[in-house]
Structure 1
Amino acid sequence: MNQNTNKTVLILGANSDVAKQCMIQYVEKGFTVIAASRNTTSLDHFVDSNNLDRSKVSILYFDAADFGSHHQFYYNLSVKPHIVVYAAGFLVDNQQALTDFKGAKQMMEVNYMGGVSILSIIAMDKSNTNLERIIGLSSLSGVKGRKSNFVYGSTKAAFTQFLAGLRQELASRKIIVNALIIGYIRTKINEGLELNQSLIMEPDYVAKFIVGAGNSFTIVPNFKWKMIYHILRLLPESLVAKLP
């Protein structure tokens, strides 16, 4: 019998390409998956097209930016999760974000505020003795402010710092919090962007790091991105300013 047979994973923002691959891999490992997203039709199609066991996957509506609905969403779950993955994300071009606050606001709401809202509700439910791990998907864009994407990057930087503090908050309950610091992925959110093809990761590759997350807070998939991550952290502002 698979040791994960009775464990449940809640994936928030489950319609992302990486989150969908997580669904497959968690089910393969014996977990039951609750996949939550605004686009439940797309998730239904994905489950059917990949022949996922319907007894192991349930699909729920979840809007990361509808903060008022989060409490009811969580407390209406039929099973409280052992693992929670926050994969919701939104991106607009930096110039658009600077000239039209609507896009900037949506990035803040989905990438940061929505995560703070729902993960705080989940983390503070001490009656859920199942909870053993919370995983948040962040980005290399949040390591240093760069002129090409600093509005988006600021939302990811804030989310990473929230996860770092949440890890400390939950340590006494032996609940692990991980932050995935992710570089370029071949996903819908990056379509149309001019990216270095040698650095692009596939969604299923990134998903393996999420599903196999260990005890470390910061997880950076891919050796090249680990190098970039450490270099970025150490770069002085004068050199960061020369980056695109």
Structure 2
Amino acid sequence: MNQNTNKTVLILGANSDVAKQAIRQYIQKGFSVIAASRNTQSLEEFIQKNSLHSKVTVLSFDAVDFDSHQKFYNELSVKPHIVVYAAGFLVDNEKALSDFKGTQQMMLVNYMGAVSILNIIATDESNKNLERIIGLSSLSGVRGRKSNFVYGSTKAAFTTYLAGLRQELTSRNIQVNALVIGYIRTKINEGLQLNESLIMEPDYVAKFIVNAGNSFTIVPNFKWKMIYFILKMLPESLVAKLP
């Protein structure tokens, strides 16, 4: 019998391209999945197309409706063993600077919504199932760069939150991982001018979610690992010259 047969994964923001691939891969490893998203219709269509009904429960979840989060968690039929926060929102930096609504939405989805629901999940000590929390962050949050610092700031805040949450949950033997991701071929990046050689496919990134280990920071792809370490080490004077 697969050791994961009786384990459940809760994916928040499950309508993203990477999250959908993670659903497929978790099921292949024997997990049951609770897929939660604001757009349940798209999720249902994906599940029907891939014949995943028997292993997936679809629920409505709105990352920015903070008042609904406690009720959402309380009503889960099974408390999760693994939680993945995959919800995300992006507007380009120029628009974010000129229109605060876009900036606010990024803050709400990428950081505040995550903290709201993950605080609820993490502080429920009655859930003896909980083994791991994984947050999808971004290379954009490693250093402030003039091309994307507004979006990057929301991801930097999320990564910092996850780092502290990891320390908070260590005594309960609960792992926390931050997946620090570069460019992915997804709908959130459609229309952006990106280096084709650096673009990763959603199913490739999903493997790093499903197979997350003990390291806090997980950077998929060797090229992006090199970029990550370079960004971390560069002096500010050189970072300022980056696009």
TM-score by length of 1: 0.99
| Matched position secondary structure for 2:36 | strand
Match of 2:112 in 1: 113
CA distance in 2, matches of 1:167, 1:186: 29
CA distance in 1, matches of 2:31, 2:218: 22
CA distance in 1, matches of 2:199, 2:92: 19
- Summarize deviations over 1:103-162 as a string: whole Å, max 9, x none: 000000000000000000000000000000000000000000000000000000000000
CA distance in 1, matches of 2:70, 2:54: 25
Match of 1:164 in 2: 163
Match of 2:89 in 1: 90
The percentage of counterpart residues that share the same residue type is: 81
- Summarize deviations over 1:4-62 as a string: whole Å, max 9, x none: 0000000000000000000000001110000000000000000011121x121000000
Match of 1:14 in 2: 14
Match of 1:24 in 2: 24
CA distance in 2, matches of 1:67, 1:44: 24
Match of 2:99 in 1: 100
Stretches (4+) displaced over 2 A: none
Match of 1:179 in 2: 178
| Matched position secondary structure for 2:54 | coil
Letter in 1 for 2:11: I
Match of 1:228 in 2: 227
| Matched position secondary structure for 2:227 | helix
Letter in 1 for 2:90: L
Match of 2:51 in 1: 51
Match of 1:190 in 2: 189
- Summarize deviations over 1:177-211 as a string: whole Å, max 9, x none: 00000000000000000000000000000000000
Letter in 2 for 1:3: Q
| Matched position secondary structure for 2:214 | coil
Matched, 1:206 2:205: yes
CA RMSD between the two structures? 0.4
CA distance in 1, matches of 2:50, 2:196: 27
CA distance in 1, matches of 2:196, 2:21: 21
Paired residues in the alignment total 243
In structure 2, stretches of 5+ residues that fail to align are none
CA distance in 2, matches of 1:200, 1:236: 26
Matched, 1:238 2:237: yes
Letter in 1 for 2:185: R
CA distance in 1, matches of 2:51, 2:73: 27
| Matched position secondary structure for 2:9 | strand
CA distance in 2, matches of 1:239, 1:17: 34
